[in-house]
């Protein structure tokens, strides 16, 4: 009889402790997820939530102020994120606040960060939309590092190829660098090109001067021809003018 009573006491204590632990766990989960107290909702749209999930923390200035309550698809390229925030923090969030997704530590869980806006003084209302911003992710950094590595590999291969060509005695670059006769011929060719350029410039200047003289005396010539034609038509053309034209 005493053994049965003792077992009942142990069972009762075990059940009581279990209930207390369950209640305590529910309480802390509720506090962490803002299930108790007054809350308000905000919404934001993202093209990629980068692993953010329901229940993730929401932070303002490094302080947990709420949680992500829902994540739903709007379209195949847009996701709606709804967050629950403590009512006492609402006065610190303005309409130009920006929401972004970051990691809690280097490889930690994803969190949603709200950055206060610099200009607006209007406090957000319940169920308002706030602007979203895509931050740099670890995947982006790794992709950039990979691209830099690939570029370095390409440059290295080109340097190896260039060194191989330099070591080849029959290559054009080696002849230019080492063969004095070949280099001298190239210098003479460049000098001839420079001389030809100077002669061409002189010829162009000479032709421009000729064209200027032609344009200068062309009106006089045309005037004389017109006068000659007029006198011939009238039959009274002066012999002096006609002789001038014939000369």
Reading the block at residue 17, the tokens are 């402790």
pLDDT by residue (tens digit) across 201-230?
877 776 776 666 555 555 555 555 555 555
pLDDT by residue (tens digit) across 55-76?
888 999 888 888 999 999 998 8
Place of tokens 């410039």: 201
Reading the block at residue 37, the tokens are 């107290």
pLDDT by residue (tens digit) across 168-214?
666 666 666 666 676 677 778 888 888 888 888 877 776 776 666 55
Q: Are 21 and 76 in contact (CB under 8 A)?
A: no
pLDDT by residue (tens digit) across 16-43?
888 888 888 876 666 655 555 688 899 9
**Closest among 127, 126, 96 to 114, alpha carbons compared:** 96
Q: Are β-strands 39-46 and 98-103 bridged in parallel, bridged antiparallel, or unpaired?
A: unpaired
Q: What is the 3-state secondary structure (H, E, C) of 110-130?
A: EEEEEECCCCCCCECCCCEEC
């Amino acid at each position: 009889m005493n053994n049965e009573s003792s077992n009942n006491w142990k069972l009762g204590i075990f059940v009581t402790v279990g209930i207390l632990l369950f209640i305590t766990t529910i309480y802390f989960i509720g506090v962490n997820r803002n299930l108790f107290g007054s809350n308000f909702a905000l919404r934001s749209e993202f093209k990629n939530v980068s692993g953010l999930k329901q229940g993730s923390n929401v932070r303002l200035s490094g302080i947990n102020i709420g949680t992500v309550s829902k994540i739903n698809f709007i379209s195949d390229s847009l996701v709606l994120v709804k967050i629950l925030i403590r009512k006492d923090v609402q006065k610190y969030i303005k309409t130009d606040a920006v929401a972004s997704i970051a990691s809690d530590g280097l490889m930690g869980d994803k969190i949603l960060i709200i950055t206060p806006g610099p200009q607006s003084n209007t406090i957000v209302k319940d169920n308002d939309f706030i602007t979203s911003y895509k931050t740099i992710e670890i995947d982006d950094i790794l992709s950039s590092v990979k691209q830099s590595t690939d570029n370095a590999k390409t440059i290295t291969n080109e340097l190896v190829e260039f060194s191989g060509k330099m070591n080849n005695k029959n290559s054009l670059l080696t002849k230019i660098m080492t063969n004095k006769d070949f280099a001298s011929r190239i210098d003479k060719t460049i000098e001839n090109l420079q001389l030809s350029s100077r002669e061409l410039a002189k010829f162009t200047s000479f032709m421009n001067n000729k064209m200027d003289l032609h344009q200068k005396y062309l009106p006089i010539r045309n005037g004389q021809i017109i006068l000659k034609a007029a006198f011939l038509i009238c039959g009274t053309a002066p012999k002096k003018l006609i002789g001038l034209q014939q000369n």
